[in-house]
Chain A
């Protein structure tokens, strides 16, 4: 039909919406209806009112339960639950939406999606796909981390931010895929398989997606994806949705994380902080080792007069050790759960964490004396020929021997 150029009435949006509202609300049949469908997109904001969508295969209907009615419902509503809802159809003019104002809800048994979830879960479980002995250990110091997720969205941002903060030494390979919709399962499978073919092979794969409705997360219950997670040669950490969302991919993964951020944390049990601590420990050990030699062979070193007179090296070492212990305790307090470091051979980290620098031996006033002509260390008075080099904490200088003692 051609719009008439000379229409006598031009509606305002408000007037038209009001007209539609009156048309719907004056239909008696629409004011007392029972509707069957599956609950989806449920939300319950601070206002206490409950919003959700009722769905069947072909259509969806917006529903509202006011706070007062919600309290009298006598049934707890969940996404995926099949229900019959009673109420009246009305129009929310501000949103331009017609919706069902619900006053009663009856359960219809578990929703079809949930039924399917249970059926597939039981089948795959029977096949042994979820067995604990299938789970592989997550490496504690990954060099290459595969991330399978959507190219856009909060999940990829959260994961990269977390990895950047915790282990910037690592390299991330993003394999992007649709994370919802019909295409999603095949794309996710492709991403996981491609990462498995990559050389050098990633040490761990993060399969992540932010929160969403049960339909949004449905790809992660797809049989193809679940099987490819189980078949991956690389350990998989799955972090989909929120704490309360469980998908079949979670069950098949080697480790389940409550959120994408948590997945990134679980992939990096050893952090930059831990690595710094282990370098400090090794530094202190190196210093201790060198000190032991210098003390054993006093003739080889010239000990500064100050140290000789006022300081007992043994006591200094004792107090340094104690300081290390204190530092260690402070640095490691509250993160003892990160101490899965034994696997990396970084034992005893928390014992001798040090602020000591390796030049500390020389700082303390020790010096190393070598003969300039042949570089031989001067250990005995007799070795001190003319022209010696003396190395102290900040460099080296040359000296001549003026007098050789007895």
Chain B
């Protein structure tokens, strides 16, 4: 999983997917023997994921929508 052929663009990741990948990188680093090159690139990817997670948590704002019939309409902030 960590060394997938086409890693997802981190900037588009949701918190959940970024955190899930971060966890699998941690597990891989802890458990799977690998070369230092690999370890460094995993570490870098992990760092970027940490940054993404932190960013998402820092900027999170509750989205509120209203159901109107079967449609969703945005609700302006009070």
Interface residues in chain A, defined as those with a beta carbon under 8 Å from any beta carbon in chain B = 141, 143, 157, 160, 163-164, 167-176, 191, 194-195, 197-198, 272, 275-276, 278-279, 282-283, 285-286, 288-290, 292-294, 297, 300, 345, 358-359, 368, 377, 379
Contact = CB atoms under 8 A, between A and B. Distances in A.
Given A275-B15, A358-B43, A282 B62 contact: no
Interface string B22-59: 11011001100000110110010011001001101100
| Top 5 closest pairs, chain A to chain B, by CB | A289-B29, A168-B60, A293-B39, A290-B43, A164-B62
A160 B64 CA distance: 8
Main secondary structure of the interface of B (DSSP, over half): helix
Contacts of B61: 164, 168
Contacts of B36: 293-294, 297, 300, 377, 379
B67 A285 contact: no
A195 B70 CA distance: 9
Contacts of A164: 61-62
Contact of A173 (B23, B43, B53, B65): B65
A289 B38 CA distance: 12
B8 interface: no
Contacts of B70: 194, 197-198
B16 interface: yes
B39 A290 contact: yes
Given A143-B16, A194-B67, A194-B70, A282 B22 contact: yes
Contact of B65 (A174, A290, A292): A174
Contacts of B63: 170-172
Q: Which of A143, A275, A368, A377 has the most CB of B within 10 A?
A: A275
A388 B65 CA distance: 55
B72 interface: yes
B1 interface: no
Interface residue tally on B, bucketed by range = 20 to 34
A352 to B, nearest CB: 11
A272 B19 contact: no
A226 to B, nearest CB: 21
Contacts of B46: 282, 286, 358
Given A168-B62, A194-B67, 6 more contacts: A171-B62, A176-B66, A176-B67, A286-B50, A358-B47, A377-B37
B38 to A, nearest CB: 9
Interface of B: 15-16, 19, 22-23, 25-26, 29-30, 36-37, 39-40, 43, 46-47, 50, 53-54, 56-57, 60-67, 69-70, 72, 75, 78
Given A169-B60, A282-B26, A289 B67 contact: no
Contacts of A379: 36
A174 B50 contact: no
Contacts of A176: 66-67
A179 to B, nearest CB: 16
Contacts of A294: 36
A282 B21 CA distance: 11
A169 B43 contact: no
Contacts of A143: 16
B19 A282 contact: yes
Nearest to B30: A289
Contacts of B19: 275, 278-279, 282
A286 B26 contact: yes
A76 B25 CA distance: 64
Nearest to A164: B62
Contacts of A175: 66-67
B29 A286 contact: yes
B63 to A, nearest CB: 4
Contact of B62 (A172, A285, A290, A377): A172
A275 to B, nearest CB: 6
A173 B47 contact: no
Nearest to B73: A174
A78 to B, nearest CB: 37
